[in-house]
């Protein structure tokens, strides 16, 4: 059992070293690395100052502390490793939960942003001025990125590069479409930008209303899946308070039961989420 713990810590240290090293590995064509996907997850969750390797270190630290605490309480290494694996995934689950909430929050705010842009364009403001004024007239959660856009544009005067920074910071499919529409209007020109923005605002409102209704109806399914996943591990956690009760899990049969139980719980949870998941809009205009 000691060799298994050493192997797990060695693999974790290797993954942390690779994620923090300055020489990235060459990804396959059309695919992104784990670090790139994690970086986008953090951006979409609103954690702009957190780096992927910091999240990995937090997962490793949380798992190690949980293993130590559960091992002291239950005197069972296998049970401690099981809860350590669950606790190690907890920071990632928290970031994903924050990402989902932020996507839902921004979904209701983007129509107001588009309306403000359409009003500014109709009033005769230039595109940089129209985008900058979102920092003072737009929805409060979206003001900081647009404020930084205004600061960057006043410092550099390069509209295209400032749009790229804004798109990277927002990391949202709607923001990608809006930014590219503004870029095309800036470079090509035309009188249909106001009509385009009004059409986009109407489409976003209808999409947000439809998704809100569907998510409300499927909420009980997702909550039931989470409860079914947590119930057996909550029972195991209560049993671990009595070391004599969980001593049998340190045997080969006990370890096998924990592995099979964890795999079945994870598979059932993923299948349930897959069945009830709504299609998410992907960022095709990165």
Classify residue 145: in a domain, yes or no. yes
pLDDT tens sequence across 37-80: 888 788 878 787 888 888 899 999 999 999 899 888 888 888 88
Residue 23 has pLDDT above 50, yes or no: no
Cα dist from 24 to 6, 20, 36, 41, whole Å: 26, 9, 10, 19
Classify residue 33: in a domain, yes or no. no
SS3 of residue 211 by DSSP? helix
Nearest to 106 by CA among 170, 166, 49: 170
Residue 177 has a CB neighbour count (10 Å cut-off) of 19
The structure tokens 């986009």 sit at 200
Q: The domain containing residue 124 runs over which residues?
A: 109-207
Residue 28 has pLDDT above 50, yes or no: no
What per-residue confidence (pLDDT) applies to 111? 86
What per-residue confidence (pLDDT) applies to 60? 92
What per-residue confidence (pLDDT) applies to 283? 63
Nearest to 273 by CA among 231, 233, 218: 218
Measured between alpha carbons, how far is 92 from 94 in angstroms, rounded to an integer? Answer: 5
Q: How many domains does the chain have?
A: 1
Classify residue 78: in a domain, yes or no. no
Percent of the chain scored above 90 by pLDDT? 2
pLDDT tens sequence across 222-278: 777 778 778 888 888 888 887 777 777 888 888 888 888 888 888 887 787 777 666
Measured between alpha carbons, how far is 118 from 138 in angstroms, rounded to an integer? Answer: 12
Split at pLDDT 50, 70, 90, the class of 29 is very low
Classify residue 154: in a domain, yes or no. yes
Residue 92 has a CB neighbour count (10 Å cut-off) of 15
Residue 27 has pLDDT above 50, yes or no: no
> Is the CB of residue 98 less than 8 Å from the CB of residue 106?
no
Classify residue 174: in a domain, yes or no. yes
Integer Rg of the chain from CA: 24
Classify residue 119: in a domain, yes or no. yes
Classify residue 237: in a domain, yes or no. no
> Is the CB of residue 54 less than 8 Å from the CB of residue 45?
no
What per-residue confidence (pLDDT) applies to 44? 78
pLDDT tens sequence across 122-143: 888 888 888 888 888 888 888 8
Classify residue 265: in a domain, yes or no. no
List CB contacts of 155: < 8 A, sequence separation 6 or more: none
Residue 115 has pLDDT above 70, yes or no: yes
Split at pLDDT 50, 70, 90, the class of 16 is low
pLDDT tens sequence across 91-100: 988 888 888 8
Measured between alpha carbons, how far is 67 from 260 in angstroms, rounded to an integer? Answer: 19
Q: Which two tokens stand for residue 147?
A: 């404020």
Mean pLDDT (the chain, rounded): 79
Split at pLDDT 50, 70, 90, the class of 26 is very low
């Amino acid at each position: 059992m000691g060799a298994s713990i050493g192997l797990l810590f060695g693999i974790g240290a290797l993954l942390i070293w690779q994620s923090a090293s300055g020489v990235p590995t060459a990804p396959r064509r059309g695919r992104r690395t784990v670090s790139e996907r994690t970086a986008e997850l953090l951006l979409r969750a609103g954690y702009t100052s957190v780096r992927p390797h910091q999240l990995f270190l937090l997962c490793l630290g949380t798992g190690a502390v949980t293993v130590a605490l559960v091992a002291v309480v239950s005197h069972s290494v296998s049970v401690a490793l099981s809860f350590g694996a669950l606790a190690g995934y907890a920071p990632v689950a928290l970031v994903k939960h924050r990402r989902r909430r932020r996507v839902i929050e921004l979904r209701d705010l983007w129509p107001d942003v588009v309306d403000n842009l359409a009003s500014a364009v109709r009033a005769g403001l230039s595109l940089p001025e129209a985008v900058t004024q979102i920092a003072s007239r737009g929805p409060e959660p979206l003001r900081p990125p647009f404020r930084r856009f205004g600061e960057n544009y006043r410092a550099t005067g390069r509209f295209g590069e400032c749009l790229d920074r804004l798109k990277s910071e927002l990391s949202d499919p709607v923001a990608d479409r809006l930014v590219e529409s503004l870029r095309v209007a800036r470079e090509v020109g035309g009188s249909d930008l106001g009509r385009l923005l009004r059409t986009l605002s109407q489409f976003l409102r209808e999409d947000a209303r439809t998704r809100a209704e569907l998510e409300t109806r499927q909420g009980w399914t997702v909550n039931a899946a989470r409860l079914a996943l947590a119930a057996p591990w909550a029972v195991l956690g209560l049993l671990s308070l009595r070391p004599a009760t969980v001593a049998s899990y340190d045997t080969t049969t006990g370890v096998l039961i924990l592995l099979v139980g964890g795999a079945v719980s994870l598979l059932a949870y993923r299948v349930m989420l897959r069945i009830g998941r709504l299609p998410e809009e992907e960022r095709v205009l990165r």
